[in-house]
Amino acid sequence: MRIGDLAQQSGVSVRSLRYYEEQGLLYSSRSDSGQRLYAGPAVARVRLIQQLYAAGLSSRTLKDLLPCLEAPVETYTPLLLGRLHAERDRISTQIAALTETRDRLDAVMATAGQAT
């Protein structure tokens, strides 16, 4: 599929897809006319990239982790599992902080609602 098709199917801009390629997160081949061509699994990969970015992972971390996340589980090494655990723990800490912030906002809104 061409870059515009991938952008539409994945809900990501063409610019983002080009950035993912520059960062080594996404791969394409080229047509005879030089257009980028992506295989069908590219949609799932782009969605995974988006999820991991939304979780706060950097391009550098994604580049290291993506091949591992797509590999069979039996090939995971203790080093990789340690890295995955560290990222999960970081995300859990971030979720806890966001939950606390939301709860504080709820309390302020509840108080403000009582004052009117």
Predicted confidence at residue 25, as pLDDT, reads 93
**Structural domain span for residue 40:** 1-58
Tell me: do 36 and 84 sit in the same domain: no
Tell me: do 44 and 1 sit in the same domain: yes
Predicted confidence at residue 115, as pLDDT, reads 63
Predicted confidence at residue 20, as pLDDT, reads 95
10-residue stretch averages of pLDDT, the chain, 116 residues long: 95 96 93 92 93 88 82 78 87 94 95 76
Predicted confidence at residue 15, as pLDDT, reads 97
Q: C-alpha 63: how far from its chain's center? A: 11
* Last-in-domain residue among 12, 33, 58: 58
Q: What is the pTM of this model?
A: 0.72
Q: Identify whether 80 is part of a domain.
A: yes
